[in-house]
């Protein structure tokens, strides 16, 4: 099986924290077997399945924004780290500490005890979930991480490897600029003007494409091009305002627009109005408008955040949510909406997922904070979970 292990490390696919490609390949083989719940070594008849499974693991690890690591508890060493380590820790994987004891020195002093305890828990065969901070060795920056660590068992049921998936929760202050423009060439020109000022930029070809994801976008501002479809552009601004989505909009218009057009844009919710000229002289004005709008962005309150998330629900999901707020069961909500209790259950699960609610109680708190209430005069259901 040596050819399979060698293949795991081709093209930099697997990086060994200890510096040996065989260790990295063995780590991936062990992890893949642990995830699949299968024996680590299979006969020749399953060679193709082994190769495909290892390729899937490599692809996932190499492209995941989360750090995936594998360790050897007997040697107290980390033997594999995915490329995300460098982005999160600010240090190349080849330069990272191998020994657990050396690695933990970069954990924030106040969090080292719980991290050490979690490590021992995983070595004992249990799954551990925790949040902790690190002090990046490259620049001294503090980052907040969330990690799920787990044992990886061999065919005899022994935890010969341990692994973890680490997510970076650190909030950054990078403000995005979203460009809504139906003309591809003009959208690229506007985006280039913005990027040269250092702002990350994302282009949307239509108002509907933008509004579909607006509730979950990072903080920033929106450039709405009114020149091709004025009514659609104004509707974007009205919709953001109606949904309480805190993304200030800057209306972009052509030289032929009159004062009435500017007034209409401001009434629809634009925080600024910029006339785009062919010679590019508008760029300084646009840059100032972006800076001012981003500077005015305040943190979204819990109520506003809840309202923005609920605004992203489908009409049926919202109906189910209202039924739950009213104390209805899956059966009573289904009877009222003309759907089966099973369908209500599926919608309810989707609503909880989209609102990031871990329980029915939390779901109701989110809904009530956003002002969701049953229609006046509606019959009350029994307040219990189905």
302-369 folds as Arc Repressor Mutant, subunit A (1.10.10)
HSE-CB at 329 with a 13 A cutoff on CA atoms is 5
| Rounded CA separation 175/71 (Å) | 37
* Token code pair at residue 365: 């708190």
Kindly state the DSSP code that residue 222 receives in the 8-state scheme: E
Q: What is the pTM of this model?
A: 0.41
* pLDDT, tens digit only, all 386 positions of the chain: 333 333 333 333 333 443 344 444 555 555 544 444 444 444 555 677 767 777 777 777 777 788 999 999 999 999 999 888 888 888 887 888 999 999 999 999 988 998 998 899 899 889 988 889 998 887 777 888 999 999 999 888 888 999 999 998 876 556 789 999 999 999 999 999 888 887 889 999 999 999 988 887 778 899 999 998 889 999 999 999 888 888 899 999 998 888 788 888 888 888 889 999 888 778 888 888 888 877 655 444 555 566 667 777 788 888 888 888 888 888 999 999 999 988 888 888 888 877 777 777 777 777 877 777 655 554 444 333 33
Domain ranges of the chain: 2-168, 176-295, 302-369
pLDDT at res. 271? 87
pLDDT value, residue 29:
53
CATH 3.40.50.2300 assigned to 176-295: yes
What pLDDT shows up at residue 246? Answer: 81
Two structure tokens written together for 90: 């600010």
**CB of 30 within 8 A of CB of 152?**
yes
The predicted pLDDT at position 35 comes to 45
Are 295 and 287 spatial neighbours (Cβ–Cβ below 8 Å)? Answer: no
143, two tokens: 């980052």
Homologous superfamily of domain range 2-168: PAS domain (3.30.450.20)
CB 118 within 8 A of CB 130: yes
Dihedral Cα 108, 136, 132, 79, nearest 10 deg = -110
Contact criterion met (CB below 8 Å) for 146 and 170: no
DSSP codes joined into one string, 325-362: HTT--HHHHHHHHTS-HHHHHHHHHHHHHHTT-SSHHH
């Amino acid at each position: 099986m040596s050819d399979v292990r060698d293949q795991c490390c081709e093209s930099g696919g697997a990086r060994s924290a200890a510096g040996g490609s065989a260790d990295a390949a063995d780590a991936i083989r062990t992890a893949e077997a642990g995830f699949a719940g299968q024996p680590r070594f299979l006969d020749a008849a399953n060679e193709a399945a082994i190769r495909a499974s290892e390729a899937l693991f490599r692809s996932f690890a190499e492209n995941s924004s989360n750090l995936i690591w594998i360790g050897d508890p007997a040697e107290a060493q980390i033997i594999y780290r995915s490329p995300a380590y460098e982005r999160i820790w600010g240090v190349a994987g080849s330069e990272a500490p191998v020994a657990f004891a050396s690695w933990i020195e970069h954990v924030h002093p106040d969090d080292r005890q719980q991290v050490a305890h979690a490590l021992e828990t995983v070595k004992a065969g249990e799954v551990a979930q925790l949040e902790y901070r690190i002090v990046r060795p490259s620049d001294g920056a503090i980052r907040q991480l969330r990690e799920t660590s787990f044992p990886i068992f061999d065919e005899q049921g022994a935890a010969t490897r341990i692994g973890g998936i680490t997510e970076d929760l650190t909030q950054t202050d990078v403000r995005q600029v979203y460009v809504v423009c139906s003309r591809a060439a003009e959208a690229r020109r506007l985006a280039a003007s913005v990027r040269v000022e250092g702002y990350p930029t994302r282009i949307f070809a239509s108002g509907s494409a933008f509004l579909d994801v607006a509730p979950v976008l990072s903080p920033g501002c929106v450039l709405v091009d009114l020149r091709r479809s004025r009514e659609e552009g104004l509707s974007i601004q009205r919709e953001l305002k109606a949904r309480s989505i805190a993304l200030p909009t800057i209306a972009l218009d052509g030289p032929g627009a009159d004062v009435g057009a500017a007034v209409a844009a401001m009434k629809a919710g634009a925080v600024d109005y910029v006339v785009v000229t062919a010679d590019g002289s508008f760029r300084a004005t646009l840059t100032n408008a972006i800076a001012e709008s981003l500077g005015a962005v305040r943190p979204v309150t819990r109520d506003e955040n809840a309202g923005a998330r609920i605004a992203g629900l489908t009409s049926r999901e919202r109906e189910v949510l209202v039924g739950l707020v009213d104390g209805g069961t899956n059966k009573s909500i289904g009877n009222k909406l003309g759907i089966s209790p099973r369908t209500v259950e599926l919608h309810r699960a989707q609503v909880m997922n989209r609102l990031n609610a871990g329980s029915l109680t939390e779901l109701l708190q989110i809904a009530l904070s956003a002002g969701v209430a049953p229609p006046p005069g509606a019959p009350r259901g029994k307040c219990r979970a189905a």
